[in-house]
């Protein structure tokens, strides 16, 4: 219960963030809301950041509720470290997950396409993150690939803080890694989003 509860939260944060962000973008494109935004004095950066921060805030509030009410009180999981530090890690990871949602929502044109792509990507992110099976039990070549997955670093941060009581001094390299990967992915998502808007 102690292990599964935290890993379930990590997996749900990934899945819900990507789906909410990408689905919202596709639905707005289908209903013509994007065209309404284009006639306003907004840049593509403004629109993308609005998608990212609005969805991130909703998921962060839900994650906070899940940690304090479900994991700590209902399931009585002993937390060794700082919950605010863990939630800071969630906030950093949400930047990547929402950027991924914008990227997938821009690449795909319909909800069925988006759903199929999300299934493939989320399953890979969850299975290779170390939340289902330890990274050390994976083949060496696969371990090298997982280093480039922000979900792996997020899971290691979550486990270190919540289970082993690690402080910021222990987990800051993972924080920096996830942040850099998130910015790189956001730049790619923004470039595609700008192309999508320019073609309208």
Distance CA 55, CA 64 (A): 14
Distance from CA of residue 124 to its chain's centroid?
Answer: 13
Phi (first) and psi of residue 165, to 5 degrees: 70, 30
- For the packed helices 44-65 and 2-31, what is the interaxial angle rounded to 10 degrees? 150
pTM: 0.89
* Per-residue pLDDT tens digits of the chain, which is 200 residues long: 888 898 899 999 999 999 999 998 888 877 777 666 667 777 778 888 888 899 999 999 999 999 999 999 999 999 999 999 999 999 999 999 999 998 998 888 889 999 999 989 988 888 888 888 888 888 899 999 999 999 999 999 999 999 999 999 999 999 999 999 999 989 988 888 888 776 65
């Amino acid at each position: 219960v102690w292990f599964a509860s935290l890993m379930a939260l990590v997996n749900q944060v990934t899945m819900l963030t990507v789906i909410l962000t990408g689905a919202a973008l596709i639905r707005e494109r289908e209903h013509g809301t994007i065209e309404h935004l284009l006639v306003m004095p907004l840049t593509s950066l403004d629109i993308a950041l609005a998608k990212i921060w609005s969805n991130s805030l909703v998921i962060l509030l839900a994650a906070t509720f899940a940690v304090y009410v479900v994991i700590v009180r209902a399931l009585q999981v002993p937390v060794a470290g700082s919950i605010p530090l863990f939630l800071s890690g969630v906030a950093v990871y949400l930047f990547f997950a929402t950027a991924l949602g914008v990227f997938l929502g821009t690449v795909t044109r319909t909800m069925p396409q988006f759903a199929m792509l999300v299934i493939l990507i989320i399953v890979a992110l969850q299975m290779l993150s170390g939340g289902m099976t330890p990274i050390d039990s994976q083949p060496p070549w696969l371990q090298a690939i997982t280093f480039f997955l922000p979900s792996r670093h997020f899971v290691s941060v979550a486990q270190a803080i919540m289970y082993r009581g690690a402080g910021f001094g222990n987990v800051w390299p993972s924080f920096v890694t996830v942040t850099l990967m998130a910015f790189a992915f956001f730049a790619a998502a923004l470039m595609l989003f700008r192309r999508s808007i320019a073609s309208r």
